[in-house]
Every structure is written in structure tokens, then in C-alpha cells.
Structure 1
Amino acid sequence: MNSSAAPTSHPLSVAVMGAGSVGCYFGALLARAGHSVTLIGRASHMQAINEHGLRLQTATEDIHVPMATSTSADAVAGADVVLLCVKSTDTEAAAAQIKPYLASHTQVLSLQNGVDNDQRLRQVLGNQPVAAAVVYVATAMAGLGHVRHFGRGELVIAPCPQGEAIAQQFSAAHIPTQVSVSVLAALWQKLIINCVYNALSALTQQPYGWLVAQVGVPAVMQDIANECKAVALADGVQLPANVDEAVAAIARTMPQQLSSTAQDLARAKTTEIDHLNGYVVRRGQALGIATPANRLLQVLVQLRQTASKPEQL
């Protein structure tokens, strides 16, 4: 048997590096399906999960799922798959932490916001198998060791040595997963969605449904999206034809969802704004595309972020 491919009939060994709400949700589903899952995250969450199991709350159930936990990167040792779920601001640091413990065949999947995390991972991890994954899920940590699921839960992963086997195993665990050569376009579509909603939700601390109902907001959202599409086009990215509909659908399908950026600001945590609207601004500058709406949102979130941490002033 080719050692670089995980056998589809055997359970996977999965490590979740940066086990926040996304990693905990997917980890719980994989553990329930019989895979060996280790969550790696903050001590307070890991202790709660050790004591009680991970509390998984969805629209249809509220259960506790026992699984292994760790606070140390060395827990990725022996994993077939590493789900990298750290913030985009921590990509290089997390890669450097796990690098000494990865087996040659271990597939690293980036389940992160932004469009360039897989490239940044490869710069640190060298020849390690790395693939981007587009994540479509609405989750939040509702307490220590407690993840709430609000909607969706699919993954689209870039072609990689174990890609088809992983997709088969994950899909059987109720995580609909497909391998696609169009991951970059999908990542850009998700980036546009994040640029349109995340900062506005963060600055107002309001969910998506409320936002789109306010006077003037839809026009601002269109301005943001148009800038993003212009940058993508100049960057040679072939966006999906239905990108505008995909953006609009978020408010309809997740009307009560607060953005991850809003959750970060509310907790005085560092946001990913520099890898969302900020990425569009940087690529726009490099390509000669003006991005005033995205720049304004980036700066406003940065200001709120700085103001919430007065010790940095």
C-alpha cells in the first residue's frame, strides 16, 4: 500500500491545531464517526473538554463528545491529517510549531479565512503536503468546551495526495466534502463574503440580517464587493459567475450570525481584518486598483481593536 495515502476503510488520526469553534465542530463530527481526534487549543477549553467532553450544540441536539485534547503542538505527531484552524495572523507561527512533529505523509489542511494561507504554510513547511480548504459553516464558542453550530458545514479542498480519501471519510462523518481544482476561486468568493459582512458586523456588533435591513447598507456592501471583484479580476482569478448571489444569500441563510470579527472585537481579541479587507487593500495597491471602502473598514476595525487594548497605546 502506498504510505502516502490514508486507507479509506480505516479510521483517520486527525489533529486539530487551533481548536476554536470551527475546529471543535468538525473534530466532534469526526470523533463521533469513529476517527481518532486530538484537539489542540487553549488550556481553559481543553481542560473543560477533558472533564466533560466537548459540548456540541446544534439545532437538533445538545450532546457531549469525548475526545483527546492537548495544549502542545507535539500532539500532531502520528496524525494522518492536521486541520489547521488558527487565525490567519498566526499561520507562520503555528506552522513552525507543528513542523518538527509532522510525518512525511501527514496532510495539512488549512481551514482558515483568507486566500493565501496555503502558500504561507508551504513557505514554512517546505515539501509537506499542504492544501487549502474552503469552509462553509457558522459556529461559535458559547462557553468553555462548548461549541454551537448555527448552519451549514461543508468543505471544499484543493487536490492533494490524500484528497479523495479524506473527502470520502469526512463525507461519511456528515461533513460534506469535495475535492475541487477551483478552490482559489472559492476562497476568493468566501473572502468577498467576509469583506462585505465581517467588518460591518464587527463595528455595529449586529448580525447579518439586521445589517442588510438598514438604510444605505446594501449599497455600501455592493461597493465593497465591487472593489474585491476588481482586485480578483486584476489578479487573474476567475470568480464564480454567481458571486453576487452568494454574497446576498449569506444574510438570508444566516440572519442571526455575528461575524468572527465581531466575536473577536467583543472579546478584545486580535482580529483577522488585515487578512480580509486588508488583503484586498494590499493586492489592490500592488495591482493599481483603488479600494477605498475596504481600506476604511480595515482602518476602522484596527482603531476599535487598538482602543479595546489601551495598554498598547
Structure 2
Amino acid sequence: MRIVIMGSGGIGGYFGAKLARAGHDVVFVARGEHLRAIRENGLRVSSEVDGDWTVDAPAVATLDGQPPADLVLFCVKSFDTEDAAELVRPVLGPGTGVLSLQNGVDNEDKLARILGAGRAVGGIAYAFVHIAAPGVIAHQQLARIVCGEFGGTAPGRLPAFAEAGAAAGIRVDVVPDIRRSLWEKYVFLTAFAGATALTRMPAQAVREVPELRRLWQRQIDELLALARAEAAGLDEGVAERCAAFLGSVAPISYTSLYHDLMQGRRLELETLHGHAVRLGERHAIPTPTLSAVYAGLLPYRDGPPKVT
């Protein structure tokens, strides 16, 4: 397959590198020092699962002049969705899908408004990854993508991607109700990201410190109340699955919200806790814990606070 990776950070870089290593035609879109490093030295993956390895694949700043892609893996931060959507237009052929592997539950709606019906594909990336240095992706665990079409559009493109992923060592599950899957990840990720970023502590602490575990659990409870109000279709077992997933992640695992905070980058806070707080206001559902976490991280939303 010809695959464009729009946003070559942790998620895009890791999955794109695995696809390129398996022989697929992969083009990485990156910027700044990360782009320069990939061009000069290739993209290196340092994985606790399958060791260190490097792929040499094209890396570009724009897609002007590039041929149409079979699929675009859309992996930019949620606050860059609109700008990045405009950048992928040159590689959109008649059947090209744009598979969002972003945090949050409304990116696909933004993509559909900008690129038109039938383009946006819902997706969830399960992988603990981050940029360790320009041109270097660190991977701790998991290599799974869940994806699904909205309204049954272009039924052949996701099975083809699932085959490509399997050949690259990526588990790709194609599901019929992607909105429900997006919400299930949103519930877990928002609570886990809030706990790790607010306290600067990893998964082990979230599991083992009783007060921190209660902070995590109260976020889960509030998010599930919002999911019911939004008719997200989550079943009664989702809380148990969230707890099981928390128990399965590596003890030193953090989230991208934590890594962005510690590296002084802009946070996806509005996509996670901000969105939940606004939904609570819309549905008149109390969100005291989510609101407290949001308030605690808000000064860092746009980078390190400027204190005078």
C-alpha cells in the first residue's frame, strides 16, 4: 500500500516505521529538527518489545507533487487538525481514506467538514510511544489499531489496511461501531492522562496509591455519565475493562499529555478534559473531578506558564 503518515510523532512515527520496514510505500510528513533528523539518519525506533531498528523512507514538509495515497494515517495533535487536513489534499485520490489516530472524539467530524463526506475514517491507536529525540521513537508496549468506517463508506480499504498491518506486525481490528470504540478509549485515556500529568507519576502509582486511584476512578465515573448523556453506546462492562487495562500497562508507563507537559509543549488538554467539562455544562452533569484536573493543568495548556 502507499501510505502517507501525516504527523510523524510517537504514534505516526512508530506505526509508519513498522509499515515501511515491511516494504510498504510510506511517506512521512514531519517538521523542524525531527524532519531534518529523519532525512539525514532515517527514522529510528527504540522498542522494549522488538529492539532498535531504523527505516530509510522519504520525509517531507509538504505533500505538494506527491502521488495519491491509498490511505493517510492522520496522527497530528488534535489542535492541529484543521491545518493538517488542508495539507493532505494533494494526495487524496478518489478512494483515499484519512484514518484519524488522534486523541478525542470529534476529530473525524472536523475532517469530514473540511475534506468532505467519505474521507474520514475513525481510528484508535493502542501503543505507548513518544519522541525520545529528533528522529528517534521510543516504544514501550502494544502495537494495535482499531478502526472503522462511518456509514459503511468504501468497504474495501480497511480490510486491505488490516492485511498490510498484519504483515508489519500491527494488529488492526476493523469494527462496525467505531464511535463506541472512540468513546471507550476517550474515557480511559482522559482519566489516565489526567492522573499521570497532574501528579507527574506513572501507571504504578495510579494503581497503588489509594488516593490517586480514587482520583482516576472518579474521573472514569464522571466520563461514563457523560457517555450515557451523549448516547455513545458504551456497555455495562466498560468500567471493568478500563480497570483491567490500567492493570495491564507497564508500571512506568505515562501518557502523551504527561510527556508534552514535561517537555514544555502545548497540551491536548482541551481535547480531553476541556471537552468533558464542556459536555458536563451542556448536559447539566456535575464533573467536579474532571474540572479540578482541568484547572490544575490549564496554566500549562499552551506551554510553560509565563510568571511575572
Fold equivalence (TM over 0.5): yes
- Could you tell me which amino acid in structure 1 is paired with residue 288 of structure 2? P
The alignment's TM-score, normalised by the length of structure 2, stands at: 0.92
1:282 aligns with 2:272: no
2:192·2:255 contact (CA, 8 Å) conserved in 1?
yes
Q: In structure 1, which of residues 290, 295, 303 is the aligned counterpart of residue 291 of structure 2? A: 295
Structure 1 partner of 2:241: 246
For residues 118 and 85 of structure 2, what CA distance do their matches in structure 1 show?
Answer: 11
Residue 49 of structure 1 corresponds to 38
Which of 195, 201, 204 is the equivalent residue of 1:200?
195
Task: For 1:71-220, list aligned pairs within 5 A.
Answer: 71-74=61-64, 77-159=67-149, 160-161=153-154, 162-220=157-215
Distance 2:212 2:113 in 1: 39
Deviations 1:126-156 (A, max 9, x none): 1352101011111111111111111111111
Task: Give 1:100 shift.
Answer: 4.6
Which is further off, 13-22 or 238-247? 238-247
Note the residue ranges of structure 1 that are not aligned, 5 or more in a row.
Answer: 1-11
Identity %: 32
Structure-1 residue corresponding to 2:228 = 233
Note the alpha carbon deviations across 1:235-285, whole angstroms, 9 max, x for none: 111114432233222243222111111111111111111111111111222
Q: What amino acid does structure 1 have at the position aligned with 2:51? A: E
Q: Is the 8 A contact 1:265 1:271 kept in 2?
A: yes
- 1:55, distance to aligned residue in structure 2 (A): 0.8
Q: Paired residue for 1:63? A: 53
Q: Which stretch shifts more, 172-181 or 240-249?
A: 240-249
**What secondary structure does 1:276 align onto?**
helix
Aligned residue pairs, count: 301
Contact 1:38–1:75 (8 Å) recurs in 2: no
Q: How big is the alpha-carbon RMSD for the aligned residues of Structure 1 and Structure 2?
A: 1.8
Q: Name the CA distance, whole Å, in 1 between partners of 2:198 and 2:169.
A: 34
Query: Is the aligned partner of 1:255 residue 2:245?
Result: no
SS, match of residue 141 in structure 2: strand
Matched to 1:287, the amino acid is H
Structure 1 residue 101, shift from structure 2 partner: 4.3
TM-score, length of structure 1 as denominator length: 0.91
Q: Which runs of 5+ in 2 are unaligned?
A: none
Q: Distance in 2 between matches of 1:70 and 1:178?
A: 29
Report the Cα offset of residue 75 of structure 1.
6.6
Counterparts in 2 of 1:138 and 1:307: CA distance versus 1, 3 Å: closer
